[in-house]
Amino acid sequence: MNNLNSTGKPNTDALDDQPTPEPAETNPVGEGERPNETILISREEFISPHAQNRRAYFSRSMQLVLYIMETDTRIPVYIENYITLGREETHLGEQHLDLSAHNAVQLGVSRRHARLIRSTATVMIEDMSTLNGTYLNGVRLAAGQPAVLSDGDELRLGKMLMAVIFEKMERP
């Protein structure tokens, strides 16, 4: 069959009779034919919805509260410069928050797990090279790399899950 019309141009009527090709199938992650190809995941898929639109500003008139999910406990935290979160007192004179009473051992919290660092207008969290990791809104932090905390963030030390709350300090 000739696909040219009487003027020598392609016969579009012949093209209309051709079957429409099916769109290429997309395979779920891990089932593709190209195992070396990186699949782009949208930011929303790996950041906790609770982490979006949070307030990171932390003034001198504010207080940090850690809400421990496992034991339904609110712990007000006073941070002069920094405070270490973990189990047991470890260094003489170091500001330390002992989480032992909140099942820290069973939940994989290290003796010196993470450090809360106060700067002029923010509070940061830093993993201290722990075995079970420190997670901020579901993302594991690199050891020694501080990350800014925001009101409402989800913090996890090992398997100990807590919420970060910024509150105005009450004046007597």
pLDDT at residue 170, as a whole number? 76
In Å, what is the CA distance from 96 to each residue of 28, 35, 53, 125, 129? 46, 46, 30, 14, 17
Q: How confident is the model at residue 4 (pLDDT cuts 50, 70, 90)?
A: low
Residue 3's Cβ-side half-sphere holds a number of Cα atoms within 13 Å equal to 7
**CA-CA distance, 107 to 160, in Å (whole number)?**
6
- C-alpha 40/C-alpha 37 separation (Å) is 10
Residue scoring higher pLDDT (94 or 29): 94
- Which residues are paired to 155 by β-bridges? 136, 162
Better-scored residue on pLDDT, 93 or 163: 163
Cα–chain center distance at 70: 19
Closest CA to 53 of 161, 154, 138, 152: 152
- pLDDT of the residue at 105: 93
pTM above 0.75, yes or no: no
What local confidence, expressed as pLDDT, does residue 55 receive? 81
pLDDT, mean of residues 40-65 = 65
- Asked if 115 contacts 81 with a C-beta cutoff of 8 angstroms, the reply is no
Task: Find the mean pLDDT for residues 15-19.
Answer: 51
Domain 43-168, what fold? Tumour Suppressor Smad4 (2.60.200)
The confidence score (pLDDT) of residue 11 equals 57
Mean of the per-residue pLDDT values for the chain? 79
For residue 38, what pLDDT band results from cuts at 50, 70 and 90? low
pLDDT value, residue 151: 96
Structure tokens that stand for 124 in this block: 């940061």
Reported as a single tens digit per residue, the pLDDT across 127-150 is 999 999 999 999 999 999 999 999
The CA distance from 166 to 26, in Å, is 44
